[in-house]
Structure 1
Amino acid sequence: MEFVGPCRFGGWREDGTPIAVPHPAPWVQVCAVSKDQTRNTMRLFPGMFSAECIAEYGVDLGKEIIYSRAGGVIEAVTSSPRALEGGRSTFVVMNETHHWISSNGGHEMAMTIAGNVGKSRGGGARTMEITNAPLPGEESVAEQTCHAWSKFAEGKSRDSGLYYDSVESPPVDLADPDQLRAGILAARGDADWLDVEWIVSTVYSGHMPRSRSQRMFLNQLVTAEDQLISPEDWDNCAVDDRLEDGDAVTLGFDGGKSDDATCLIAMRVRDRLIVPLGVWERPDGPAGDGWEVDRQAVDGAVRNAMERYDVQAFHADVALWESYVDAWSEDYRDRLVIKASPQSAVGRDMRGGLQELTLANERLVAAVEDGHVRHPGETLPLGRTLRRHVLNTRRRPNRYGLSFGKPNRESAHKVDAYAATLLADLARHRLIESGRTRPSERSGAVFFF
């Protein structure tokens, strides 16, 4: 369509319908990090062009470059960012971007393509990524795109014009052949040339890990075996419920300054309902340059929570927030049933007490897997953000058991909301074990903020 078809807006008809016109100088690039990947797409074209189309537009079907009589071009391009620099392509197919990673030049190639498209003659140039579900934590271009879309969907970044379309299977039991077939049919969409029985036999052959079968054949965004909590287990805990003023809760807080996120999580004492009260993250793009968290806004959110709810325990990581944690401890120590540590009513330094935190992590993971925690899912604005942080979290074994961490030290994928959830759950556990839970009395007051 970009090559010879009416693909651009050309004005309005008298009846108010739009007019589509061909691009005057279409330059289509099929890009990948290897020649084999570009061939996967280029080999489709001979069968896609009808004899009538070839005759009408003078299409010359080359193996790596295709021309039209009017000067249009389709070409295959592999990873050479310097060679690509300065091109004025009008449409770029970015092929198999789940394979575009830093080590094979995929990141540089994606940035070069973005620059070229932004400088295209007449503007309006477009890119399209064709990809399987990416491996979370690998930092591929496909994962970065998915991350950018998630941030926009959460209202945490500006609309960049990204259209995200994913046809994927709902959760299915891979051990059940009938469920697996249904999942494959859902994921393949209208690609009815795919052989369902062959795919089933491939999944059961044992030649690839379960997670790869899910990504490749069901298009499910699942990670490798080091993910701490699976999407299915987390989503199964979603309920249609909210906190009410006066509810007895515990609070967990994990703070950052500029790079790491800052998160405040409440957990209802009676039923372990997890509710994010605030998540502050550095915006993507230029808006994030020089960004630092608004500490007064965070302090206000903490104090608002203390007024709205019956906060019986509050565990806050002290790193980077020592003075605020000291102030919260001083102001609210008489209201808290238990202290976070021997030194502070609120401060709980996550850099120490590894054994306690490891046991707390194992306890929380088991509770999620068994459906013993609850959360509002995506019915709250911050529910999607909490889910993203939870699913970013990786398994990190230590000498005491199973702890947690980021995908890697430099990863842009945050886990701070999970850390705050862990602290809130630890505070609740210690409160329950103390036997000193305070009966909650609702005041009937309503707070606006």
Structure 2
Amino acid sequence: MTRPEADRFVSLGFTAIDWIETYLCHGPGDVQGQELVIDDEMAAFIVKAYRLDAETGRRKVNRAFLSRPKGRAKSELAGALVCFEALGPCRFDGWDANGDPVGRPQVYPFIRCLATEENQSGNTYDNVTAMLEHLLETAGDEFPGIDLGRSAQTSSRIYIEGGGEIVPSTSSGAAKDGGKETFGVFDETHLYVQPELRAMHKTVRRNLVKRRAAEPWSLETSTMYAVGDASVAEATHEYAKAVRAGRVKDGGLLFDHREAPHVEDLHDDAQLLPALRYVYGDAAEWMDLERIAADMREPDTDPADARRYFLNQPGTASAKAFNRAEWDALARPDFTVPEGDPIVIGFDGAKWKDSTGFVATHLETGYQWPLGVWEAPLNKQEAERWEVPEREVDLCLALAFDTYNVVRVYADPPWYEEAVARWQGKYGEKTVAEWWTHRDKQMAFALRAYRTAMSGGDLSHDGDEAFARHIGQAVKRPARAKDDDGKPMWTIQKDRHDSPRKIDLAMAGCLSWEARLDAIAAGLNKRKRKSTVIVL
């Protein structure tokens, strides 16, 4: 065996590419089952991901991030690497006569494929099952005893003869199995914005340090994120910037990001098509770039989303209604509203599948905090059966009236007409008012005032995580109305109709702020003079 020179680039990536192309096929899609050939761009990523220390033979990469535009088959590549990590010679086992590394299979591979939603196995795992089915059909004799989990006893995971598993997991399952991971794949981490998904990422990455001899590592695949979403992809990018700037020590991060050059006008083919050819790299040969360009220009396609998904550029702030970093800077967690002080309240929500909440605003200071929030489970099946506990909603509002001097409540009534009528009967119609958020012009002006209050520092809040998340997830929707100068305005919506990223507290916060402005205009913020009785 010949050890290479200490400064020589050595990698098991070449072995990985040969193994993948020998045994695996394309995953689900138009070319499913066909011969899988790794293009040069992705081959370069694999070689970098499997780089070894020329002295010790240990892996140099502990964490890899692959950022490419939509349609670049990132999940398929991740699935192929899962198969190689499960069955192939993926760990160092010495040097050959030329000083090149020799690999061996893992002793007990435990691989986790992470998905964003409870009732999905995830794109990566779907590729794994398709690839291993092909492997068993074409080379099953070389890899006996693989159980693809088709039986009731072994469903939801793949077992490998001699010990080893490939497991699809979600936020509820990531903390299980005792942290035996040798490899973890996080697919589409720009979607990891919910606290449960960020916690899942942290848990699995923490588990990866436990088996030193197995040299565990993780792979994140993603398109670029929406700025301010506080997604795992955004956090990884910030970490990469800190490493590059020398602010933190490199812990073995491979950040492989390909981004298109800036395109000023998406309707100009002379600018857009070269940018698409660049960002899709080797895949530009078989991608329908003209079709992608046409889709980017559709009237219902947000330009910021088009740039993010197809040019692989971080989402611009223009797509977001509010600046999350600006919001975070307004936190005053040390402040407490005194009992009995005047407050106003905003209410918004739905009864099923979504979320509902109250946001209070201190009349004197403009300090906001959520009185209560009820969010549907992430699990779609559970969300279908979930309903807001209306009794708790009533009790939450009653507690606010008992604790503070509530001078005004603005409530969006859809799905809650009966509840709002009940509140008006109990607390008075002058105090509780219907405030319909579907009124384009009124809503647009209210949102503009709310955002102006944030930018001007007139507003503060308690730093509540759910409140901040809803603020950060609200995206602009062009309003039909224009302002008094004829300029276009906007309201807010979720990033898509069925999105798990809720915005109801952002809407309730806006209604609460509007209630404060109206209460001040009505003079409700003026302290009443106490009358003095003189007895002669």
Q: Unpaired segments of 5 or more residues in structure 2?
A: 1-18, 28-37, 59-88, 130-148, 150-154, 165-176, 207-231, 265-303, 483-488, 530-536
In the alignment, is the contact (CA less than 8 A) between 2:317 and 2:323 conserved in 1?
no
- Residue type of the alignment partner of 1:232: A
The residue correspondences of 1:255-294 to structure 2 (distance < 5 A) are 255-285=349-379, 288=383, 290-294=385-389
- Say whether residues 1:40 and 2:45 are aligned partners: yes
Residues 357 and 238 (structure 1), Cα distance of their counterparts in 2 relative to 1, 3 Å cut: same
Task: Judge conservation of contact 2:347–2:512 (CA < 8 Å) in 1.
Answer: yes
Change (3 A) 1:242 1:206: farther
* 1:144 matches 2:144: no
- Supply the distance in 2 between the matched residues of 1:429 and 1:438 (Cα, whole angstroms): 13
CA deviation digits over 1:91-144, x for unaligned, max 9? 3588xx9xx99xxx994325676989844456665375678xxxxxxxx73133
- What is the match of residue 190 of structure 1? 250
1:226-278 CA-partner distances (Å, limit 9, x unpaired): 11112221112111312221121100011211211011100111111111111
Contact between 2:410 and 2:511, CA under 8 Å: does it hold in 1?
yes
Task: Report Cα offsets for 1:300-322 as digits up to 9, x if no partner.
Answer: 00111111111111011111111
Out of 300-309 and 184-193, give the one that drifted further.
184-193
Q: Does the aligned pair in 1 maintain the 2:342–2:364 contact within 8 Å?
A: yes
**Are residues 440 and 304 of structure 1, via their aligned partners in 2, closer, same or farther at CA, if it must alter by over 3 Å?**
farther
Q: 2:420 aligns with which of 320, 325, 340?
A: 325
Match in the other structure for 2:6: none
- After TM superposition, the structure 1 = structure 2 runs for residues 307-326 of structure 1, keeping only pairs within 5 Å, are 307-326=402-421
Q: Tell me which of 181, 187, 211 is aligned to 1:126.
A: 181
Question: Would the aligned equivalents of 1:395 and 1:402 in 2 still touch at CA under 8 Å?
Answer: yes
Whichever residue aligns with residue 522 of structure 2, its letter is S
Q: Could you state the TM-score of these two structures normalised by the residue count of structure 2? A: 0.52
Question: What is the percent sequence identity of the aligned residues?
Answer: 20
Q: Shift in Å at residue 371 of structure 1?
A: 1.4
Residue 57 of structure 2 is aligned to residue 57 of structure 1: no
Query: 1:147/1:37 Cα in 2 relative to 1: closer, same or farther (>3 Å)?
Result: farther
1:120-169 Cα offsets, whole Å, 9 max, x none, are 456665375678xxxxxxxx7313334253676xxxxx999444785665
1:369 aligns to 2:462 (yes or no): no
* Residue 305 of structure 1 pairs with residue 400 of structure 2: yes
The structure whose Rg is larger is: 2
In 2, the alpha carbon distance for the partners of 1:242 and 1:128 equals: 46
1:411 corresponds to 2:536: no
Once residues 386 and 323 of structure 1 are traced to their aligned partners in structure 2, the CA distance between those partners, rounded to angstroms, is 26
Residue in structure 1 matching 2:433, options 321, 340, 346: 346
**In 2 relative to 1, CA 127–281 (structure 1 residues): closer, same or farther, beyond 3 Å?**
farther
Give 1:48 shift. Answer: 3.7
| Superposition pairs of residues 51-130 of structure 1, within 5 angstroms | 57=93, 67-68=103-104, 71-72=105-106, 90-91=110-111, 107-110=122-125, 118-120=157-159, 121=163, 126=181
> 1:426 & 1:440 partners in 2: Cα distance?
23
Aligned to 2:347: 253
CA contact (8 A) 1:167 1:188 kept: no
Q: Secondary structure at the match of 2:460?
A: coil
Aligned 8 A contact 2:92 2:102 in 1: no
Alpha-carbon contact 1:117-1:126 (below 8 Å) kept: no
TM-score (norm 1): 0.61
The one-letter amino acid paired with 1:229 is F
- CA-to-aligned-CA distance 1:294-345 (integer Å, 9 cap, x gap): 1111110011111111111101111111111110011101772xxxxxxxx4
Contact residue 390 and residue 417 of structure 1 kept, 8 A: yes
Deviations 1:9-34 (A, max 9, x none): xxxxxxxxxxxxxxxxxxx99x9998
| Structure 1 residue aligned with 2:294 | none
In 2, are the aligned partners of 1:265 and 1:274 still within 8 Å (CA)?
A: yes
1:396 is the counterpart of 2:477: yes
Contact 1:252 1:427 in 2 (8 A): yes
Identify the range of structure 1 (364-373 vs 39-48) with the bigger mean alpha-carbon deviation.
39-48
1:387 aligns with 2:468: yes
Q: What is the distance in 1 between the residues matched to 2:374 and 2:330?
A: 24
Aligned to 2:228: none
Shift of 1:415: 0.4
Aligned to 2:343, the other structure's residue is in SS state: strand
Letter in 2 for 1:319: P
Q: Using the alignment, how far apart are the partners of 1:403 and 1:181 within structure 2? A: 33
Alignment of 1:151-230 (within 5 A): 161-163=203-205, 166=235, 169=238, 184-185=244-245, 189-190=249-250, 207=262, 224-230=317-323
How far did residue 396 of structure 1 move?
A: 1.8
Counterpart in the other structure of 1:134: none
Structure 1: tracts of 5 or more residues without a match? 1-27, 74-87, 132-139, 153-157, 171-179, 337-344, 378-382, 442-449
CA distance in structure 1 between the aligned counterparts of 2:253 and 2:372, rounded to whole angstroms:
47
Alpha-carbon contact 2:378-2:500 (below 8 Å) kept = no
Rounded to whole Å, the distance in 2 between the matches of 1:403 and 1:315 is: 17
Question: Could you tell me how far apart the structure 2 residues matched to 1:243 and 1:58 are?
Answer: 66
Structure 2: how far apart are the matches of 1:107 and 1:56?
30
Distance in 2 separating the partners of 1:416 and 1:393: 9
Residue by residue over 1:24-83, the C-alpha shift from the partner in whole angstroms, topping out at 9 and shown as x without a partner, is xxxx99x9998644641344435446577799835789xxx9841xx449xxxxxxxxxx
1:433, 1:288 → 2: CA distance? 41
Q: Which residue identity does 1:227 align to in structure 2? A: K
C-alpha root-mean-square deviation of aligned residues, in Å?
4.9
CA contact (8 A) 1:93 1:127 kept: no
Classify the secondary structure of the residue corresponding to 1:126. coil
Amino acid at match of 2:366: R
Preserved contact between residue 393 and residue 405 of structure 1 (Cα < 8 Å): yes
**Cα displacement (A) at 1:389:** 0.4
Cα pair distance change 1:127/1:359, threshold 3 Å: farther
TM-superposed deviation, 1:436: 3.9
